[in-house]
Amino acid sequence: MKNMKRLLLSALLLTLTAAPSLAGTAPGTGVVGSLHDMNTISGATDDPQARVCAFCHTPHHAMADPTGEQQPLWSHQYTSYISNWTPYASPTFQGGDNWIDPLMGPSRLCMSCHDGLVAVDQHYGMAGTKTGLGGDGWGGRDIGLADAGGNADFSNDHPIGFSYNDAQTNDIGQGLFAASGRQFLSNTNNAALTVEDVLLYGDIMTCATCHDVHNKDNANNTAAPGRNYFVYAPQDNSALCLTCHNKGNGVDEF
């Protein structure tokens, strides 16, 4: 099974190497002071040099992803979720026939903190002190129903790790969701950003297709300014969802 996935992965990489892995996005209000600044998280141990990027990246001695995928200079212990996962499934989901690896690319990086097992402040070989973000339920910030045996369950999460373009082409309703060239709706800080820009290799949905790990105020929400969730389009009128899913009035999708 694992070898099969590797084969699929290398075939995919061969066909997609021309596309950038994930385009960088314009800076917003940044990481410092955000929920992704581990120095501000209660129960977490501050970095001895007050660094911020260091909890996730390092200029040297970066750690290889256990599957061999290239990752951006990673300094944080990887999640043990490698191949034991239950993907999302439903009678109407069209992406199920092109699963690649639900955690491929940035998703595996997110899960190295959000799996509830690896300490969020672990970095640079130093042990962390804060493990678990309140569980996988309403009010918690763990994802994937952690299990100490390294099994992950994404069956109650929005699907990731599949080809957006294949799902869009095979869409039974044809037009139920947008071509990947569509810009995120109402995104004042990254107005020109398209879905394709944040698909891994221009094609694969990951956690980083909806979330920008680096910018706490990337999308400006008016209804609840404190709840930006690092998303690329505001929660107001569900602009994020309507960017991809054509469930609006067909003009501006609102």
- Two tokens, residue 133: 């973000």
What is the DSSP secondary structure assignment for residue 236, as one 8-state letter? G
Name which position in 104, 117, 152, 167 contacts ligand HEC (CB under 6 A).
167
The one-letter code for the residue type at 231 is V
- Two tokens, residue 45: 């141990």
Is residue 245 at the binding interface for ligand HEC, with CB under 6 A as the rule?
Answer: yes
Shortest CB 217 distance to ligand HEC, Å? 10
What is the DSSP secondary structure assignment for residue 177, as one 8-state letter? B
Please identify, among the stretches 1-9, 10-18, 59-67, 242-250, the one whose residues bind ligand HEC according to the rule CB under 6 A: 242-250
Name which position in 31, 100, 145, 146 contacts ligand HEC (CB under 6 A).
31
Q: Do 22 and 198 contact (CB within 8 A), yes or no?
A: yes
Other Cβ atoms closer than 10 A to 186: 20
Q: Do 186 and 247 contact (CB within 8 A), yes or no?
A: no
Shortest CB 1 distance to ligand HEC, Å? 21
Shortest CB 99 distance to ligand HEC, Å? 11
Q: Quick one: 145 or 167, whose CB is closer to ligand HEC?
A: 167
Q: Do 111 and 102 contact (CB within 8 A), yes or no?
A: no
Of residues 178-217, which lie at the interface with ligand HEC (CB under 6 A)?
195, 205, 207-211, 213-214
Is residue 5 at the binding interface for ligand HEC, with CB under 6 A as the rule?
Answer: no
Q: Do 109 and 43 contact (CB within 8 A), yes or no?
A: no
Distance CA(192)–CA(26), nearest Å, equals: 10
Q: Do 28 and 36 contact (CB within 8 A), yes or no?
A: no
Label the pairing between strands 152-153 and 85-86. Answer: parallel
Name which position in 55, 81, 99, 201 contacts ligand HEC (CB under 6 A).
55
Name which position in 104, 152, 239, 244 contacts ligand HEC (CB under 6 A).
244
**Where are the extended beta strands (E) located within 87-206?**
152-153
Name which position in 183, 186, 187, 243 contacts ligand HEC (CB under 6 A).
243
Is residue 104 at the binding interface for ligand HEC, with CB under 6 A as the rule?
Answer: no
Binding site for ligand HEC (CB under 6 A): 22, 24, 31, 35-36, 38, 41, 52-53, 55-57, 72, 76, 90, 92-95, 106-107, 109-114, 120, 133-134, 141, 143, 157-160, 164, 167, 177, 195, 205, 207-211, 213-214, 227-231, 235, 238, 240-241, 243-245
